[in-house]
A and B are shown apart, each in its own frame.
Chain A
Amino acid sequence: MEWFYNIINSGWFNLIWPFIFLVIKVLVIIVVILLCVAYLTWLERKIHAAVHLRKGPNVNGMFGLLQPIFDGVKLLLKEIIIPDRANKLIFLMAPVLSFVTAIAAWAVIPIGNHLVFSDINVGILYLMAISSLGVYGIMMAGWSSNSNYAMLGSIRSSAQIISYELSMGVLIATVILNVGSFNLSDIVMAQEHCWFIFKLLPAAVLFFIITLAETNRLPFDLPEAEAELVSGYNVEYSGFAFALFFLGEYANMILMSSITTILFLGGWLPILNIGILNYIPGIVWFVVKVIILLSLMILMRSILPRYRYDQLMKLGWKWYLPISCGFFVIVAFCLRFL
């Protein structure tokens, strides 16, 4: 053990230890997120099955808990079929870009008191930027597949995402008005006395609906409608590339749910500031709230039909954008004069 103590006490170890610690933190975050994404697929199948009066996966492992692992192994072992005249480089880079932007945004999300990977002062701006970058992955996938259905699916999906991002930005600005800072930990701490979902209920409901549109979930599912477009921009992908798209979409779902809890549901704060509830660590509150929001997203998928593409665009531009801007003006007025 002497060599161990010799290394720790030497001068150059103190120099490189911060970098090693950084790498360990990054690896821990990525592994935890991948596990959460895999078990989100399990949760989705179980909830859909409960609504349909059947049991979900219950063969592999107790309650089907090993099912995501088997799914992952199956996807890894399949062949990645590259279409004949597809642009190979872009074809293979598109899922990577999708997945990386979904994971990179987790760098600023606080899951507990001071438990954030990097506490930057423009957290919200960083999140908006990363989700806008995600559109590139979808466009690249549709274009490089060299198939007309994939192209149509990716065009529709990119148009949908950028239209709903506008309303999302205005709603985030509405929340920032009440807080005064872009730092995500400050946003959570500003909700100590009253969560923003009570003060800004219409904004919270509208934000939740917009997160459904941002992640291509039902009822805004047309770009990857499984019956009509045969999963849109995904159609030419198989094997590990498809797994990356799939994981990217579910990681985006968890990311959007975390953003919703931080902005509206008080992040890692307990329900009331009573003694007993304060003893439960903040992480537990955060996870519980995110799981409730994810279950709501999954339930929305199981009960609602799909919007047609022109209805989707009409909603985004003619209804959600004016309502968000109007609500922003009302909140600004109330904060200034009341």
Chain B
Amino acid sequence: MIHYIKTFLLIDILIGLKLAFKYMFTKRTVTVNYPFAKANHSVRFKGEHALRRYDNGEERCIACRLCEVICPAQVITIESEPRADGSRRTTRYDIDLSRCIFCGLCEEACPVDAIVEGPNMEYAAENRNELLYNKEKLLQNGDMWEAFLRKRLEIDAPYR
């Protein structure tokens, strides 16, 4: 009985309208006016990749290939040789950023914190070749973003 009264008086539609008006007139919009304002990302945000170095300038990567093995999308390609001074280093370290799924497993697998995912997401390219990063590009990234990467690793270290 009460069900029929509610149906004929359209009570549920009026309740829905009340909710719509409440949201329209009393709440602030949550739109961020990108690109003039940017949203806050967490410390663990997984963006563009970078290869880091030690403080004395030596590159961290020792070509252990743990990242290549763990990558689910198999986008990392590594070739290595002993360097002139006898240490183990890569000659080729390619990441195909158009196939990467940004899961962060390579960063977790690396024993020396060489490959990391930085906070950068604004690296749009105009054709696919520019998205196939090779070792130089990754090292360059690392030098550019080193301050951010070090700070993020410091903040996140207790939880890893």
Minimum C-beta distance from A70 to chain B (A): 19
Per-residue B-contact encoding for A40-53, CB less than 8 Å = 1, 0 else:
00000001011111
B28: chain A residues at CB < 8 Å are 53
- In the assembled complex, the Cα of A53 lies from the Cα of B16 at a distance in Å of 16
Say yes or no: A304-B13 contact (C-beta < 8 A), given A50-B24, A53-B23. yes
Contact with A along B5-40 (1 / 0, CB 8 A): 000001001001101100110011111000000000
Give the residue of B19, B27, B29 whose beta carbon is less than 8 angstroms from that of A303.
Answer: B19
B30 and A303 form a contact (CB under 8 A): no
Q: How far is the CA of A47 from the CA of B10 in the complex (A)?
A: 22
User: A205 an interface residue at 8 Å Cβ cutoff?
Assistant: yes
Cβ contact within 8 Å between A304 and B16: yes
Q: Closest Cβ of chain B: how far from A238's Cβ, in Å?
A: 27
The A-contacting residues of B in range 82-98, CB under 8 angstroms, are none
Contacts of A304 in B (CB 8 A): 13, 16
Instruction: Tell me the minimal C-beta distance from A147 to chain B in angstroms.
Output: 33
B20–A299 touching, CB < 8 Å: yes
CA distance A47 to B21 in the complex (A): 10
Query: Chain A nearest CB: distance from B145 CB in Å?
Result: 30
Please, how many angstroms separate the alpha-carbon atoms of A51 and B26 in the complex? 10
- Determine if A54 and B20 form an interchain contact, defined as CB atoms under 8 angstroms apart: no
Q: Closest residue of chain B to A219, judged by CB? A: B13
**Residues of chain A in range 222-281 having any CB-CB distance to chain B below 8 Å:** none
Question: Does A178 reach chain B (CB closer than 8 Å)?
Answer: no
Q: Please, which residues of chain A bring their CB within 8 A of the CB of B30?
A: 53-54
Chain B residues with CB below 8 A from A52, complex form: 23
Q: Given the complex, which residues of A lie within 8 Å of B23, measured CB to CB?
A: 50-53
Judge whether B27 and A53 touch: CB under 8 Å.
Answer: yes
Q: Find chain A residues with CB under 8 A from B17 CB.
A: 299, 303
CB distance from A298 to the nearest CB of B (A): 10
A193 on the interface (CB 8 Å rule)? no
Min Cβ gap B50→A in Å is 32
A302 touches B20 (CB 8 A): yes
Contact of B31 among A47, A51, A54, A302 (CB under 8 A): A54
A303 touches B20 (CB 8 A): yes
In the assembled complex, how far is the CB of residue B29 from the closest CB belonging to chain A, in whole angstroms? 5
A55 at the interface (CB under 8 A from B): yes
CA distance A50 to B20 in the complex (A): 9
Select B10's contact among A50, A51, A205, A299, beta carbons within 8 Å: A205
**Set of chain B residues within 8 Å of A49, measured between Cβ atoms:** 29
Give the docked Cα–Cα distance between A304 and B16 (Å): 8
Also in contact, A303 and B16, with CB within 8 A (given A53-B29, A53-B30, A205-B10): yes
Please report A residues at the B interface, Cβ cutoff 8 Å.
47, 49-55, 205, 299-300, 302-304
Residue contacts A-B, CB under 8 angstroms, 20 given: A47-B24, A49-B29, A50-B23, A50-B24, A50-B29, A51-B24, A52-B23, A53-B27, A53-B30, A54-B29, A54-B30, A54-B31, A205-B10, A299-B17, A299-B20, A300-B13, A302-B20, A303-B16, A303-B19, A304-B16
Known: A205-B10, A303-B17. 8 other contacts (CB 8 A): A49-B29, A50-B23, A50-B24, A53-B27, A53-B28, A303-B19, A303-B20, A304-B13
Which A-B residue pairs are the 9 nearest by beta carbons? A303-B16, A50-B24, A55-B31, A54-B31, A51-B20, A303-B20, A55-B29, A53-B30, A53-B29
